[in-house]
Every structure is written in structure tokens, then in C-alpha cells.
Amino acid sequence: MNSFKSQFWRDTRMPYVETRRACESRICYQAHSHETFSIGAVDQGQSRFQSHLTGQHIISAKTLVLMPAHVVHSCNPMPEQLWSYQMMHIDAAWLNRLLQEHQIKYPDPAQQVLVQLQAKVLHDIDLYHQFTKLNDLLFDSEVTIANKEQSLIELLIAVFRLSQSADTFADADVAEQQWMDILEWLAECDDFISLEDLAKQANMSRFALIRLFKKHFGLAPHAYQINLRMNQARKLLCAGYSLADVAFTLGFCDQSHFHRSFKAYTGVTPKQYQQRI
């Protein structure tokens, strides 16, 4: 992160999230609040964090801060010091719908849009690394939007586990035939299926669907679909189909996306694979 001072990421395909990375900053902010649920992380240096929900804390590298919407807080570097940090803002209404989808409810309906997750200061290194990895994916222009969305939801699963009881996140009960129908549908579809559409077809939450795929295959749904298409691509290339036809047949938006995905999974480009076969 030393090659930049401050970066912002937004994408119209994921309008419910904005993230920022700042490197070696001395900028201070007055006490303020956001309309979003916010996750902050300290990468280097120390900062003084304060909120009426958490009190005052001196936070250092690999510390995470969770802040509900509309809660006044401040977080500034120690006097005469530099610090580097990451900050993500998630739309409260979108997050609330995601929680409702997973049947997580809060007792006061009037406070629903505020997403009343508990404010926390966390010293959880694994969660910090997961958050950093998510931000790296969001800033990477070569990562698909579906992969970015699923990575965000996986991070939120980990965050919610800290605020909810374990039984809230019990594995979904899926009949064997229903599971086989889902896999058959994915195998027969010409285009990539969005996580939202797949969850509707499976009649379960996106949280549960990601966990189900990871439990059975070790892959999230989008990664499973890419892996499925890479196996199909091998067969089509062996049969003599052109690279353009293979990319189109398998639902890739362009040849460059197909090229990158194929090389990532096989170690060679589609053209090299076809020539060697």
C-alpha cells in the first residue's frame, strides 16, 4: 500500500458498498456519523478511536472497528504520527434486506434501517486478513463482480457471527434431489447465474447457499461455475472449436475474461492448450 496516499473504490454494479484505503496519513476528522454500516481497519501506526458505544480506545495494526449507522464517532492518528487504514461503508437498507433474507430480525422495527449491529473493537487477525483480502479483490479490475459480491457476503457472515448466536447460522437443510437439481441447472445454463437468482431457485438465503457450496465443494457458487466452464472449455478446445466460439458458448462476456480464467485454472492460455492437445 505504499505506492499511494488514498484510493476509493465504487462500482455501479455494487452500489451498496464503497471502500477506501489511505496510506501514511496525518488527516484528522471531527466527530461524525455515517448513514452506512462501517468497517474500519488499521494497517500501520496507531489511532485514537472514540464512540459513546465503545468508549475510547487506542487501536493499532490489525485492529478492526465495526460501527452501526448513525452512531457518532471519531478515529484519528496519534499526535505527530502517520497511520494507514482501510474503511468500508455498506448501505444500511441493503444490509438490512440481506439480514432479513437470512431471517435475522431486530426487536424494534423502527430501528430496522439502522442495522443495529453492536459496535465493536476487534483484535481478530484472521478477520482482519479476510477484510484486507476483500478490499484487494474490490480494487482489482480483473476480478469479476460476482466474485466481489460473494467475497463481501462471506466477510459479512464472519462479522455477523460475532454479533449473533451460533444457531443463527446453522447449515441449510437441503434435500438431496433439490441439491442435484441445482447442480443440473448450473450445468445446463448457457450463462453465468447470479448469486441472487441461484438463491431464489434454491429457495434459500445467499448466506446459506455460499456455505452449502463451500461445504460440498470448497468453492463459492461463482467459482464453482467458472470451474465447471473450464472443464467444458477443455472439451470444446479439444474438439477444435475456436477460442471466440468457446468463450461465447460458455457465457463469458469477452475473450479476455475467458483467457484470464482459463490460464488461472490450467497454467496455460486457451490457444497454448489447444495447440499442445
Domain boundaries, the chain: 6-161, 172-277
Which pLDDT tens digit goes with each residue over 191-235?
Answer: 889 999 988 888 888 888 888 888 878 788 988 888 888 888 988
Instruction: Write down the mean pLDDT value for the chain.
Output: 83
Instruction: Please report the pLDDT score of residue 103 as a whole number.
Output: 60
Asked whether the predicted pLDDT for residue 166 surpasses 50, the reply is no
Instruction: Please report the pLDDT score of residue 110 as a whole number.
Output: 38
Instruction: Please report the pLDDT score of residue 88 as a whole number.
Output: 95
Question: What does the DSSP assignment read for 192-242?
Answer: PPPHHHHHHHHTS-HHHHHHHHHHHHSS-HHHHHHHHHHHHHHHHHHTT--
Share of the chain above pLDDT 70, in %: 87
Instruction: Please report the pLDDT score of residue 164 as a whole number.
Output: 58
For residue 42, name the pLDDT band (cuts at 50, 70, 90): very high
Asked whether the predicted pLDDT for residue 168 surpasses 80, the reply is no
Instruction: Please report the pLDDT score of residue 165 as a whole number.
Output: 45
Write down the H helix ranges in the chain: 92-101, 125-139, 145-161, 176-188, 195-202, 206-217, 221-238, 243-249, 255-266, 270-276
How much is the average pLDDT of 150-171? 71
Which pLDDT tens digit goes with each residue over 119-156?
Answer: 788 899 999 999 999 999 999 998 889 999 999 998 98
Instruction: Please report the pLDDT score of residue 113 as a whole number.
Output: 36
Asked whether the predicted pLDDT for residue 251 surpasses 80, the reply is yes
How much is the average pLDDT of 181-197? 86
Instruction: Please report the pLDDT score of residue 111 as a whole number.
Output: 42
How much is the average pLDDT of 258-274? 87
Asked whether the predicted pLDDT for residue 174 surpasses 60, the reply is yes
How much is the average pLDDT of 173-190? 79
Classify residue 88 as left (phi > 0), alpha (psi -120 to 50) or beta.
Answer: beta
Asked if 90 and 37 count as a contact pair (C-beta separation under 8 A), the reply is: yes
For residue 84, name the pLDDT band (cuts at 50, 70, 90): very high
Instruction: Please report the pLDDT score of residue 107 as a whole number.
Output: 42
- Measured in residues, the chain has a length of 277
172-277: CATH number: 1.10.10.60
Instruction: Please report the pLDDT score of residue 236 as a whole number.
Output: 92
Asked whether the predicted pLDDT for residue 159 surpasses 60, the reply is yes
Homologous superfamily of domain range 6-161: Regulatory protein AraC (2.60.120.280)
pLDDT: which is higher, 182 or 177: 182
Q: Do domains 6-161 and 172-277 have the same CATH topology?
A: no
Strands 83-91, 17-25: pairing kind? antiparallel
Rounded-to-integer distance, Cα 213 and Cα 152, Å: 16
Instruction: Please report the pLDDT score of residue 99 as a whole number.
Output: 76
